[in-house]
């Protein structure tokens, strides 16, 4: 398994397919570029409606895979020799020079952390592992509060410093561990999209593990139609279909990856501020943004904050967000004004 693993649980395993289901059902024409493969412990799909005659799609596929492999080699926590793994293993508090790609992702993560007042935090790894939702097999055991507090002392986005002039970072706590599973996949989607654009391709869809970047029109010369899954245990039910162009999308859900102990449900989504699984009624959230990296991180941040606190932040910051909230009668939708305006 690579960078992302199963960040948002089994919901992503299905969203990989569901989010493009409407396109597949409507299409009868063949895309000049249709490329699917595996990366980051999940899958990706690329479709382009128009490809310049000067572009060889076989060569473009190779270039895409090389780009994704490069990013994985920079940001994976599963590869011991990745750039990020080497930084995590470094037990000093010295300034460390990092690559441009990695610095961009770390910097954006820090901005979302500040914006959400710590609801998004790429140093949360020790807490995720403690609760059994990390790379090790799930233990289904509720940790003691003293151990939660001990791991909380190892985390905190404020313990990672940045020097924008030199592209260096510094860990104030030597054992600080950075995990980019909630943002790196979005960055990879954006970079693939930019690669396509350098080749003169302006009508495309790039999807990695359910995160999407959409440009122009589909093969039918219409907006891309993206399905958002109903956040229920049953798989395959569509909650909403979004016609989209020239925008990025990310969805975070909290309805399949959890465990129960003594009748209490413990979510895989951990609140970095308190070291505890979330307990609110927000079932899933979909973010529309100018970059997939930003949408990816914001989906996690607002999922942690919940329907009330998350909606307040989204409204204040003009974030296009669709909240799907659990109620006694099923689910209700609540969208921010900018989300509704984006669909008009």
- pLDDT at residue 16, rounded to an integer: 41
Q: How far is CA 182 from the centre of its chain?
A: 4
Ordered DSSP codes for 148-196:
HHHHHTT--GGGEEEETTTTEEEESSTT-----TTTHHHHHHHHHHHHH
7 falls within a domain: no
- pLDDT at residue 172, rounded to an integer: 95
d(C-alpha 171, C-alpha 98), whole Å:
13
150 falls within a domain: yes
> 81-114: b or e for each residue (b if 16 or more CB lie within 10 Å)?
ebbbbebbeeeeeeebebbebbbbbbebbbebbe
CATH number where 111 lies: 1.10.3980.10
In contact, 276 and 17? CB cutoff 8 Å: no
- pLDDT at residue 279, rounded to an integer: 87
- pLDDT at residue 4, rounded to an integer: 41
- pLDDT at residue 237, rounded to an integer: 77
104 falls within a domain: yes
d(C-alpha 229, C-alpha 233), whole Å:
11
327 falls within a domain: no
- pLDDT at residue 230, rounded to an integer: 76
311 falls within a domain: no
Range of the domain at 163: 85-171
130 falls within a domain: yes
103 falls within a domain: yes
Contacts of 100 (CB under 8 A, 6+ apart): 167
SS3 118: coil
Rounded to 5 degrees, φ, ψ at 93 are: -115, 30
- pLDDT at residue 131, rounded to an integer: 73
The stretches in the chain having pLDDT less than 70 are: 1-29, 134-139, 232-236, 254-267
**How many independent structural domains does the chain possess?**
1
The C-alpha angle 320, 323, 329, rounded to 5 degrees, equals 155
- pLDDT at residue 141, rounded to an integer: 75
144 falls within a domain: yes
- pLDDT at residue 233, rounded to an integer: 60
């Amino acid at each position: 398994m690579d960078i992302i693993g199963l960040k948002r649980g089994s919901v992503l395993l299905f969203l990989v397919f569901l989010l493009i289901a409407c396109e597949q059902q409507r299409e009868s024409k063949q895309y000049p570029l249709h490329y699917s493969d595996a990366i980051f412990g999940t899958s990706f799909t690329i479709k382009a409606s128009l490809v310049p005659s000067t572009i060889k799609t076989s060569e473009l596929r190779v270039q895409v895979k090389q780009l994704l492999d490069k990013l994985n080699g920079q940001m994976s926590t599963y590869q011991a020799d990745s750039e990020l793994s080497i930084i995590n293993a470094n037990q000093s508090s010295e300034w460390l020079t990092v690559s441009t790609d990695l610095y961009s992702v770390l910097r954006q993560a820090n901005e979302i952390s500040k914006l959400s007042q710590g609801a998004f935090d790429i140093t949360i790894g020790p807490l995720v592992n403690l609760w059994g939702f990390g790379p090790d097999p799930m233990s289904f055991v509720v940790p003691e509060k003293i151990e939660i507090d001990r791991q909380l002392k190892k985390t905190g986005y404020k313990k990672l410093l940045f020097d924008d002039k030199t592209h260096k970072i510094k860990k104030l706590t030597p054992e600080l561990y950075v995990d980019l599973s909630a943002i790196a996949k979005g960055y990879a989607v954006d970079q693939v999209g930019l690669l396509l654009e350098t080749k003169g391709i302006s009508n495309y869809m790039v999807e990695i593990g359910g995160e999407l970047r959409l440009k122009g029109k589909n093969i039918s010369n219409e907006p891309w139609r993206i399905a958002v899954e109903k956040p229920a245990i049953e798989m395959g039910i569509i909650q909403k279909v979004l016609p989209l162009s020239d925008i990025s999308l990310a969805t975070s859900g909290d309805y399949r990856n959890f465990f129960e102990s003594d009748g209490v449900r413990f979510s895989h989504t951990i609140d970095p501020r308190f070291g505890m699984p979330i307990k609110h009624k927000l079932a899933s959230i979909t973010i529309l943004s100018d970059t997939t990296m930003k949408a990816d991180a914001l989906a996690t941040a607002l999922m942690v904050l919940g329907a009330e606190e998350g909606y307040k932040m989204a409204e204040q910051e003009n974030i296009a967000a669709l909240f799907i909230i659990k109620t006694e009668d099923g689910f209700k939708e609540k969208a921010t004004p900018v989300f509704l305006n984006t669909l008009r």
